[in-house]
């Protein structure tokens, strides 16, 4: 199945939780995640390595491997998704610039959103608050 979507000027970086809830139908945030993905289907979506790794690992270990496979196929088959490798040196330096105890992955997402002039989408209220400080 090929997911065809037009490109537009908007660019987004998605946190793992958007994909987790979109692919996990039994969660209360499933419908909201599907709606969000639908609303940005004509935009460029940047998915960093850390998100691919986190989501596929959660699906494989907490649910079943087929769920991880479905997620990975979705990433490969969706035209407007750009998979990127993390910029580990930039992310380390960005992380070291913060004094508080914060998830390395969360700060990496903020760093990547800034690097690509993208909007960060997440359901994580703490991450949203931190992203607002950028």
Distance CA 74, CA 110 (A): 23
pLDDT digit string (tens) for 39-51? 998 999 999 999 9
> Which residues lie closer than 8 Å to 50 by C-beta, 6 or more apart?
86, 105, 108, 109
Q: What predicted TM-score, i.e. pTM, was given to this entire model?
A: 0.83
Please tell me the least confidently modeled range out of 19-33, 37-51, 61-75.
19-33
Pairing of β 119-121 and β 11-14 = parallel
Residue 2 has pLDDT above 80, yes or no: no
Please tell me the least confidently modeled range out of 3-17, 31-45, 61-75, 89-103.
3-17
Q: What is the pLDDT of residue 63?
A: 83
Q: pLDDT over 70 for what percent of the chain? A: 93
Q: What would the DSSP string read from start to end of 10-68?
A: -EEEE-HHHHHHHH-TTSTTHHHHHHHHHHTTTSEEEEEHHHHHHHHHHIIIII-HHHH
pLDDT digit string (tens) for 119-133? 999 999 888 888 886
12 φ/ψ angles, rounded to the nearest 5 degrees: -130, 145
Domains of the chain: 11-132 (3.40.50.1010)
Q: What is the pLDDT of residue 87?
A: 92
Query: Over the chain, what is the mean pLDDT?
Result: 88
CB 83, CB 75: distance < 8 Å: yes
Which of 81, 90, 8, 7 is CA-nearest to residue 51? 81
Chain centroid to CA 29: 15
Q: What is the pLDDT of residue 126?
A: 87
């Amino acid at each position: 199945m090929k997911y065809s979507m037009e490109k537009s000027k908007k660019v987004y970086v998605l946190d793992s939780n958007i994909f987790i809830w979109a692919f996990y139908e039994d969660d209360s945030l499933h419908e909201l995640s599907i709606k969000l993905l639908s609303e940005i289907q004509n935009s460029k979506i940047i998915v960093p390595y850390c998100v691919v790794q986190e989501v596929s690992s959660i699906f494989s270990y907490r649910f079943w491997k087929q769920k991880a496979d479905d997620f990975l196929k979705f990433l490969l088959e969706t035209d407007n998704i750009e998979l990127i490798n993390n910029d580990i040196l930039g992310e380390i330096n960005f992380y070291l610039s913060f004094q508080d105890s914060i998830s390395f992955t969360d700060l990496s997402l903020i760093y990547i959103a800034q690097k690509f002039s993208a909007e960060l989408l997440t359901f994580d209220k703490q991450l949203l608050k931190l992203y607002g400080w950028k």
